[in-house]
Amino acid sequence: MSRIEEFELIIVGGGPAGLCAAMYAGRGMLRAVLLERGVPGGELLNTEWVDDYPGFEHVLGRDLAHKMAAHAVAFGADIRQENVESIVRREDGIFEVATSMGTVYEAPAVILTAGGTPTKLGVPGELEYAGRGVSYCAVCDGAFFKGETIAVVGGGDAAVEEADYLTRYAEKVYVIHRRDEFRASKILQERIFANPKIEVIWNRRVLELVGGPAGLRHLELEDTVTGERHTLPVTGCFIFIGFSPNSGLIKQHVAHDASGYLITDDRMMTSIPGLFAAGDLRVQLTRQVTTAVGDATTAAIAVEKFLKDRRSGAVGAQVGV
C-alpha cells in the first residue's frame, strides 16, 4: 500500500538546478521536498574541474556540488534519496509524484530538474561492455585508460571536447564520426586537429563492440560511403552522440520541442499549470551550471507567487502547445 506525504512543493532532481530551487524554497519558507535518485550534485559529480562558475575560478565539480547541497540544507532543504517513477496532475490541481519506494508525494507545485540521459548507440556489445570498456563520461572513467588506445564516437562539441580531454590519459584517441565534417565549434575542432594523440576517422559508423572476459577488445566499423567493414583495436569506447531530456516522467501531455525538451514561459512554468522546469531538460540556447541555477531561481520564486494565486483562486496562464 502506498504511503502518502503532502507538501507545497516537490523538486524532482538534485543537480545544480534542483539544489538551487531547494535553497530558494527554504528561504521562502515553503514546505518543500527534493527527490534525487542518487547523491545530490547531478552532472557536477561527473565534472572534474569547473572554471566558469562566478566566484570560483577553479573548483572541483564534486566540491561545488557539496557546497550547493550544504547551502540548501542550511536553509532547511529536505533532501531525500528516492527514484521518481511518474508525475501526474490530478483534476484538482494536485500533483502525485510516485517513487520506486512506494511513496506518493503530493503537492500543488512541482519543479522538474531531472536533467537527461546520454543517447546509446544501440549496437551489439554496448550494454555488455558498459563499465568494461564502454563509457559515456570521460571525467568519470578516463583515468582507467592510462597509456591505452581508445575511441570516441560522435561529432558534436561534447565528443570533440572529451576526445581532447582523454589524451591526458590515453596514448592514442580515435574520433569516429559518421560524416565527413564535425558539428562541433571551430575552436574545439582546431584543438583536436592540433593534438598529435588524436586521429579522426571520417565516414564510419560502429556496428558492434567486441570483447572478452577482460573487457572491450575492438570495434567493428562500417564505411558509410562504400559499405566496407573495418576492425579497430581499442580497449575503451567513449560515446557522445546526444543527450535525451528526462521528460518522460510526466505522464500527461506537456508542450515540448522535437527533441523532447520542455517549453516554458518566462517564469519557467510548462504548459501544465503548476509544473515548472529548470536546467538541462528545458528548451534554451545553452546548458551550463549558471543557466541551471538561473532557471531554478526564477522557478522557485515563481512557485511562491503561483501558490499565493492558487490560494486566492487565480491560476497562472498556460504556455501554448
Neighbours of 165 (CB within 10 A): 16
Q: How far apart are CA 289 and CA 58, in angstroms?
A: 14
Determine the pLDDT at residue 258: 87
**Is 3-118+243-312's fold the same as 134-239's?**
yes
Is pLDDT of 152 > 60? yes
Determine the pLDDT at residue 315: 63
Reduced to 3 states (helix: H, G, I; strand: E, B; else coil), residue 215 is: strand
Indicate the domain borders of the chain.
3-118+243-312, 134-239
Determine the pLDDT at residue 272: 97
H helix or E strand, kind and range, residue 24 = helix 16-27
Which residue, 36, 238, 211, is CA-closest to 134?
A: 238
Determine the pLDDT at residue 44: 85
In b/e form, how buried is each residue of 311-321, taking b as 16+ CB within 10 angstroms? Answer: eeeeebeebee
Q: How far apart are CA 266 and CA 280, in angstroms?
A: 16
What is the CATH superfamily name and number for domain 134-239? Answer: FAD/NAD(P)-binding domain (3.50.50.60)
Q: What is the pLDDT of residues 273-313, one digit of tens each?
A: 999 999 989 998 877 889 999 999 999 999 999 999 999 88
**Average pLDDT score over residue span 90-119:** 94
Q: How far apart are CA 56 and CA 40, in angstroms?
A: 19
Is pLDDT of 130 > 60? yes
Determine the pLDDT at residue 1: 59
Is pLDDT of 57 > 90? no
Is pLDDT of 178 > 50? yes
C-alpha cell belonging to residue 143: 583515468
Determine the pLDDT at residue 106: 98
Furthest-apart CA atoms within the chain: distance in Å:
68
Mean pLDDT is lowest, of 114-123, 175-184, 292-301, for: 114-123
Ranges 140-149, 152-161, 182-191, 195-204, most confident: 195-204
Q: How do 204-212 and 215-223 pair as beta strands?
A: antiparallel
The DSSP line for 32-78 is: EEEEESSSTTGGGGG-SEE--BTTBSSEEHHHHHHHHHHHHHHTT--
Please, how many CA atoms are within 13 Å of residue 34, restricted to the half-sphere of its CB?
Answer: 32
Fold of 3-118+243-312: FAD/NAD(P)-binding domain (3.50.50)
The residues assigned a catalytic role are 137, 140-141
Which of the pair, 321 or 276, is modelled with greater confidence?
A: 276
Determine the pLDDT at residue 181: 96
| Owner of C-alpha cell 549558471 | 290
Neighbours of 212 (CB within 10 A): 9
Which residue, 158, 163, 155, is CA-closest to 234?
A: 163
Residue 189's pLDDT band (boundaries 50, 70, 90)? very high
Determine the pLDDT at residue 321: 35
Q: How do 49-50 and 59-60 pair as beta strands?
A: antiparallel
Which of the pair, 3 or 69, is modelled with greater confidence?
A: 69
